[in-house]
Amino acid sequence: MTASSRPSDPRQAPLAYLGDLRPAFVAHLADRLADQIGRQCGEIDAATGVSAPNRTHSVVLYLADHGPASLAEIARLDGQAHQLLAARLAPLEQMGLVERVDDPGDARRRPYRLTRAGRREAGQIRENTRRIAAAMRSLSDDLGIDLMAELERAGALLHERSLAQRIDLLEGA
């Protein structure tokens, strides 16, 4: 086996072969991390009988805590685009965990609410989420940073000054 045909060292940092270009692939590594966390959360959910997809849990918890709400209300507080939220609510409706109801005070409004099965599921989602939050705090401790705060900070800084603006500053444009 030649050096070029040997499998890479699994202990080597992902994308290490890129050298100085590696920071340009933060989004790639962030996607990998999100997928890894999502898979591990899914394993926890499966072990406890939760059937709602992991990416819908914040919506389920919102409806459990606040009661019926429109797509716009949930999107505003959850910080998600309407289209993304609608796509996340669809499987919950198909699974019988949420339903749309008429609003007696506004005939145009059809808010979402949890069904009886959805309320049961929300209880287990809350317990799993509590445990996962503790595990994520443990990961932050291991990293020596508040991972959630740093992710939020990175997003805010990129909102203030985009990558393109940073390139212009670095290149003196």
pLDDT, one tens digit per residue, over 69-96 is 998 889 888 888 889 899 999 999 999 9
Residue 115, in any domain of the structure: yes
Residue 31, in any domain of the structure: yes
Task: Record the pTM.
Answer: 0.82
Q: 74: domain CATH number?
A: 1.10.10.10
Long-range contacts of 9-15 (CB under 8 A, 24+ apart): none
24-34 per-position pLDDT tens digit: 999 999 999 99
What is the reported pLDDT for 11?
Answer: 67
Residue 15, in any domain of the structure: no
Domain count, the chain: 1
Domain enclosing residue 108, as ranges: 24-144
Long-range contacts of 115-123 (CB under 8 A, 24+ apart): 118/60, 118/63, 118/64, 118/92, 119/64, 121/50, 121/51, 121/52, 121/60, 121/97, 122/60, 122/61, 122/63, 122/64, 123/64
Residue 17, in any domain of the structure: no
